[in-house]
């Protein structure tokens, strides 16, 4: 492949429910952040270039805490900045708007840094495990656009992603017989209970069960450059539709671009399933579980027992 796959890390957001800058919060035995583990796993999988999407406001802390370690790990490091004023011609930031424009907008601001390479996208504050990075790198390295965009997604088993400390939102995936994505349905209140896992859409008045092996999206995607073209084409229409009704909080989400491409039969999105346990820190109480899991994985030899880099 002429252009090797690169890794794109969305790190511009702040964790509102957890509080603080989760992207650089230490969780490893030597002060590693969650993102350090993703970088370690991605580098082992074959990625050599990383693009960090951040805000200027966190740039110094981020470069010192994460960027320097990525360089030390052998990555070529690029930065892109998700700022509110980066909008299509004819649009301006509504008065009082402080919320970022969403994950699809994050990819748009990284267009120059990504260039014409295929790319994987991850959240900075999620632990995905090694298998997902191997799957997505191998797929991006061996597939190119044909009649349709050749996109991909690493799905995780729902039972490996829920939190014992509160409800979570997950994108529940439906695939066809070829393993291609048909739809992603966002379920915003999923909780484990003694008999299994269930979700509610009416504030807890009724609950529906979900199987633990249900495949869900955790925002580990693989794209060709066509994704940027599709996101750019849809952004102005999104703003025209949503700014009049929700000027301060509307967001242009990455999966919405995928959904539009699927509906228009422009893309095949192959779902690759990882058996690794996903970890995140949705709630403060999730952190001790992650810290212990990483300690155990280091003890088992999955990661170095001293510093990763």
235-290 tens-digit pLDDT = 999 999 999 999 999 999 999 999 999 999 999 999 999 999 999 988 889 999 99
Q: Which residues pair with 191 in a beta bridge?
A: 198
Relative to beta strand 215-223, strand 267-274 is unpaired
Name residues whose C-beta falls within 8 Å of residue 265's C-beta, 6 or more positions apart in sequence: 148
Cα separation, 100 vs 106, in Å, equals 9
Q: Which two tokens stand for residue 63?
A: 């470069």
* 130-142 and 34-45 helices, crossing angle to 10°: 40
- Where does residue 176 rank: exposed (0-12), middle (13-18), buried (19+ CB within 10 A)? exposed
User: Residues of the chain whose pLDDT is less than 50?
Assistant: 1, 14-19
Whole-structure pTM value:
0.94
70-92 pLDDT, tens digit per residue, is 999 999 999 999 999 999 999 99
Q: Give dist(CA 157, CA 212) in Å, integer.
A: 7
Go through the chain and tell me how many residues it has: 309
What is residue 170's predicted lDDT score, i.e. its pLDDT? 95
* Degrees, nearest 5: CA angle 282-287-289: 110
Joined tokens for residue 271 = 């779902």
pLDDT at 1: 47
């Amino acid at each position: 492949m002429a252009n090797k796959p690169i890794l794109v890390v969305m790190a511009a957001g702040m964790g509102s429910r957890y509080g603080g800058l989760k992207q650089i919060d230490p969780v490893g035995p030597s002060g590693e952040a969650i993102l350090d583990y993703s970088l370690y796993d991605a580098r082992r999988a074959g990625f050599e270039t990383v693009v960090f999407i951040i805000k200027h406001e966190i740039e110094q802390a981020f470069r010192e805490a994460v960027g320097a370690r990525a360089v030390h790990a052998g990555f070529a490091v690029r930065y892109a900045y998700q700022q509110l004023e980066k909008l299509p011609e004819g649009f301006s930031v509504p008065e009082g708007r402080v919320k970022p424009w969403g994950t699809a907008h994050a990819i748009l601001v990284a267009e120059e840094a990504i260039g014409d390479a295929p790319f994987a996208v991850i959240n900075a504050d999620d632990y995905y495990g090694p298998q997902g990075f191997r799957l997505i790198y191998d797929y991006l390295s061996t597939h190119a656009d044909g009649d349709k965009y050749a996109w991909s997604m690493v799905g995780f088993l729902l039972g490996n992603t829920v939190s014992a400390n509160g409800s979570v939102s997950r994108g529940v995936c439906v695939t066809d017989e070829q393993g291609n994505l048909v739809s992603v349905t966002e379920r915003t209140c999923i909780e484990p209970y003694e008999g299994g896992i269930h979700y509610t859409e009416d504030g807890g008045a009724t609950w529906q069960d979900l199987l633990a092996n249900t495949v869900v999206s955790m925002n580990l995607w693989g794209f060709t450059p066509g994704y940027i073209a599709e996101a750019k084409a849809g952004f102005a229409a999104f703003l025209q539709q949503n700014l009049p009704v929700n000027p301060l909080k509307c967001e242009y989400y990455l999966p919405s671009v995928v959904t539009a491409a699927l509906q228009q039969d422009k893309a095949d999105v192959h779902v690759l399933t990882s058996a690794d346990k996903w970890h995140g820190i949705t709630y403060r109480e999730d952190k001790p579980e992650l810290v212990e899991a990483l300690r155990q994985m280091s003890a088992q030899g999955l990661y170095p027992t001293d510093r990763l880099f």
